[in-house]
Structure 1
Amino acid sequence: MDLFDDLPEPTQTSGLPVLKGYVAARRGEREEMQDAHVLLPDMSSCLSALPGQVTRVSYFAVFDGHGGARASRFAAEHLHHNLSKKFPSGDTENVDKLIKKCLLDTFKQTDEDFLKKASSQKPAWKDGSTATCVLVVDDMVYVANLGDSRAVLCRLEAAAADGQRRLVTLALSKEHNPTMYEERMRIQRAGGTVRDGRVLGVLEVSRSFGDGQYKRCGVISSPDLRRCQLTANDRFIILACDGLFKVFSADEAVKFVLNILQEGSVEQRAGLTEEEVRFEAACQQLASEAVRRGCADNVTVILVSVGF
Structure 2
Amino acid sequence: MQDAHILLPDMNTCLSSLPTTVSRLAYFAVFDGHGGARASRFAAEHLHHTLALKFPKETENLDKLVKKCLMDTFRQTDEDFLKKASSQKPVWKDGSTATCMLVVDDMVYVANLGDSRAVLCRMEEETLGGERKCVTLALSKEHNPTIYEERMRIQRAGGTVREGRVLGVLEVSRSLGDGQYKRVGVISTPDIRRCQLTPNDRFIILACDGLFKVFSAEEAVKYLLNVLQDGSADGQTEDEGQYETACQKLANEAVRRGCADNVTVILVSISF
Residue 162 of structure 1: CA displacement?
2.8
CA RMSD for the aligned pairs? 0.9
Q: Matches of 1:285 and 1:150 in 2, distance apart?
A: 18
Q: Matches of 1:254 and 1:276 in 2, distance apart?
A: 21
What is residue 166 of structure 1 aligned with on the other side?
A: 133
CA distance 1:276–1:306, shift in 2 (3 Å)? farther
The 5 Å alignment of 1:39-118 reads 39-90=7-58, 92-118=59-85
SS of the residue corresponding to residue 173 of structure 1 reads coil
Q: Which residue of the other structure, out of 271, 287, 291, is the alignment partner of 2:255? A: 291
Q: Which residue of the other structure, out of 89, 108, 122, is the alignment partner of 2:89? A: 122
Aligned residues: 270
Q: TM-score, normalised by structure 1?
A: 0.86
What is residue 17 of structure 1 aligned with on the other side?
A: none
Which ranges in structure 1 are unaligned for 5 or more consecutive residues?
1-32, 268-272
Counterpart of 1:295, as a letter, is C
What is residue 152 of structure 2 aligned with on the other side?
A: 185
SS of the residue corresponding to residue 85 of structure 1 reads helix
Task: State which drifts further: 239-248 or 275-284.
Answer: 275-284
Q: Is contact 1:266–1:274 with CA below 8 Å preserved after alignment?
A: no
The 5 Å alignment of 1:143-292 reads 143-263=110-230, 264-265=233-234, 273-292=237-256
Q: Matches of 1:303 and 1:260 in 2, distance apart?
A: 13
Counterpart of 2:179, as a letter, is G
Q: Matches of 2:67 and 2:36 in 1, distance apart?
A: 30
SS of the residue corresponding to residue 133 of structure 2 reads strand
Counterpart of 1:38, as a letter, is I
Q: Matches of 1:266 and 1:105 in 2, distance apart?
A: 46
Q: Matches of 1:258 and 1:277 in 2, distance apart?
A: 15
Which ranges in structure 2 are unaligned for 5 or more consecutive residues?
none
Which protein has the bigger helix share? 2
Q: Matches of 2:168 and 2:92 in 1, distance apart?
A: 20
SS of the residue corresponding to residue 52 of structure 2 reads helix
Q: Matches of 1:227 and 1:258 in 2, distance apart?
A: 24
Q: TM-score, normalised by structure 2?
A: 0.98
What is residue 306 of structure 1 aligned with on the other side?
A: 270
For 1:100-152, what per-residue CA distance to the aligned partner results, in whole angstroms no more than 9, with x for missing partners? 00000000000000000000100000000000000000000000000000000
What is residue 105 of structure 2 aligned with on the other side?
A: 138
Residue 280 of structure 1: CA displacement?
1.0
Q: Is contact 1:158–1:165 with CA below 8 Å preserved after alignment?
A: yes
Identity of aligned residues (%): 80
SS of the residue corresponding to residue 124 of structure 2 reads strand
Residue 164 of structure 1: CA displacement?
2.1
For 1:51-91, what per-residue CA distance to the aligned partner results, in whole angstroms no more than 9, with x for missing partners? 1100000000000000000000000000000000000114x
Q: Is contact 1:266–1:278 with CA below 8 Å preserved after alignment?
A: no
Residue 207 of structure 1: CA displacement?
0.2
Counterpart of 1:62, as a letter, is V
Counterpart of 1:214, as a letter, is Y
